[in-house]
Amino acid sequence: MEKFYTRMGDGSAIELSESELKRDLEEGTKDAAERAKIPPLSEDDLRRLLDIYKCPDKSVGVERGKEVILSYDSGTTKFNRANISVSRLQSLQLYERALGADTMEMGHMDYSYKPAKSIMWIEQPTLEQALLVTIPALFYGAMPNLGLYTQPDGPCSNPMELIPQGKIPEARAAQEEMVEHAVKDMVFVGSTMYESGADGINFDTTAAAGDAEFLAVLRAIAILRKKYPQMCIEVGMSGEFILGMHGGLEYDGVRLAGLYPHKQLELVEKAGATIFGPAINTNTDESCPWNVARSATFAKICGENSHIPVHANVGMGVEGIPVTLTPPVDSVSRVSKAMVEVARLDGL
Amino acid sequence: MHITHSIASGMGGMRTAGDLVGRMQMSRGMKIKEAKEYVANKLKVSVADLADPIVMNEVREDLDIGRVNALPRVSKGIDAKFRIAKLLDIEINCVNMFKDRIGKKMEV
């Protein structure tokens, strides 16, 4: 029986027969559909995914004419993380002139709004210089990172210490206080960098700390949209499901805990964002075909329901990309193709 | 990983018209189909040509809106963005600020 080379969600190589591939694709889409109460992928979509995974080529790509826009998170920090000795401005020129980037993003090495706030005076001239010498649109980005607002690094009590003690009201109050601080910081940084010329602001890894963090970002978006009607605001999520670390928070009458991507999108749109980036967690115990079918199911309904461009997160550990620091080209290129041709998104 | 996505599904940035289509998503919130059609119409090329580096290199040279291999005496950086703003009929934040800084609303 012919076997097809693919990988598990942790990146380890496996071989599956055609029937095993079909089974994983069907079970992946079924898992997403049941969890989020959304339609599974159609027979045509599953057939297309099967073709993608049966293709023996190391690298695959979208059909000519179906290319999409790429946007980035943590753009300039990636060269530094790889210990490449280039400045942020040089990093942006590499993205622009060597890597074919459609848009670009600059961020502080700590990549969170709270630490960025105190060094805006040094971020502004760097951004202004970059804007003078580069051509593609340039975001300033960072993570909301609500965890930075807890003691001893921040002003608020730590909900993760209060919850195990049964101090639920105190944990909730602490999170509500953290939201207020985070909104101020995000609006300050977003305003400052937009007024230095940035084309847009990116909220990356949104809701990593749960529903309170999602609320903070939604409120910050609404304030920035009102202040700057022309500003591009991109929201990249951190996971497929809003964790109810508070449990009782709402935005515009909608409870935030437990929202799946298509419901996250509705609120992000309502708050005033320009681009939405769903993030679907990769399950390391399942195969890449299973993970990609599942991710495409979540992402496709976002693309169909949205009035704004949808750029899926396709970095390490999300959307079916294996959870490894060195994601293999065979896995990454298949996710890229699937998100465009099956989920029919506007960008990645 | 970026290189893989860029080759597998990206438009190609300044090698093609990827940066221009990206600007329409960012400035007008256009979905990919609408953004490509808008840019193709402004550039007077087909939608398929937008991601073709041979066609687009010539188009970008003719319009002087910046190319990867920048030659002497052609638009680079902010001056290319002045031309892109006018070509696509969009507001570019840093271009407007540049105009403000030099004290007048320049026409290009």
How large is the ipTM? 0.94
pLDDT at res. B101: 87
Convert the pLDDT of each residue in A103-113 to its tens digit.
999 999 999 99
Candidates B6, B66, B80; nearest CB to A100: B6
pLDDT exceeds 60 at position B108: no
pLDDT exceeds 80 at position B82: yes
The encoded tokens of residue A82 equal 């790889």
CA-based nearest residue to A102, from A144, A66, A137:
A137
Report the distance separating Cα A345 and Cα A235, nearest Å: 15
pLDDT at res. B107: 53
- State the pairing for strand pair A254-255/A250-251: antiparallel
Q: Which of residues 302-331 of A touch B (CB under 8 A)?
A: 306-309, 314-316, 321, 327, 329
Residue A164 CB coordination number (10 Å)? 9
Residue A98 CB coordination number (10 Å)? 12
Contact A317, A238 (CB under 8 A): no
- A89-94 average pLDDT score: 95
Q: Which of residues 106-125 of A touch B (CB under 8 A)?
A: none
Q: What mean pLDDT value characterizes chain A?
A: 96
Q: Which of residues 214-233 of A touch B (CB under 8 A)?
A: 230-232
Assign a CATH topology to domain A3-341.
TIM Barrel (3.20.20)
Is the bond preceding A169 in cis, omega lying within 30 degrees of 0?
no
- B18-24 average pLDDT score: 98
- Locate all alpha helices (DSSP H) within B29-92, ordered by sequence: 32-43, 53-63, 77-88
pLDDT at res. B1: 85
pLDDT at res. A231: 97
- Locate all alpha helices (DSSP H) within A37-158, ordered by sequence: 43-54, 77-81, 88-97, 113-117, 120-133
Report the distance separating Cα A298 and Cα A305, nearest Å: 11
Report residue A1's pLDDT band, with 50, 70 and 90 as the boundaries.
Answer: confident
Candidates B9, B78, B81; nearest CB to A340: B9
Is pLDDT larger for residue B1 or for residue A129?
A129
**How does DSSP classify residue A269?**
H
CB contacts of B3 in chain A (<8 Å) are: 99
CB contacts of B32 in chain A (<8 Å) are: 68-69, 309, 345-347
Regarding pTM above 0.90, the answer is yes
Candidates A137, A321, A345; nearest CB to B19: A137
> What is the three-class DSSP state of B17?
coil
Residue A208 CB coordination number (10 Å)? 18
Beta bridge partners of A140: A106, A201
Q: Which of residues 241-300 of A touch B (CB under 8 A)?
A: 274-275
Domain ranges in chain A are: 3-341
- A3-28 average pLDDT score: 97
CB contacts of B12 in chain A (<8 Å) are: 67, 100, 102
How many angstroms separate the Cα of A265 from the Cα of each of A301, A304, A315, B31, B72? 10, 11, 19, 15, 46
pLDDT exceeds 90 at position B17: yes
Alpha-carbon distance A44 to nearest alpha carbon in chain B (angstroms): 20
Convert the pLDDT of each residue in A134-182 to its tens digit.
999 999 999 999 999 999 989 999 999 999 999 999 999 999 999 999 9
pLDDT at res. B71: 87
Measured N-to-C along each axis, helices B93-101 and A120-133 cross at an angle, to the nearest 10 degrees, of 100
Contact B8 A60 (CB under 8 A): yes
pLDDT at res. A82: 87
Residue B53 CB coordination number (10 Å)? 18
CA-based nearest residue to A334, from A61, A71, A80:
A61
Contact A69 B7 (CB under 8 A): no
pLDDT exceeds 60 at position A36: yes
- State the pairing for strand pair A138-142/A104-106: parallel
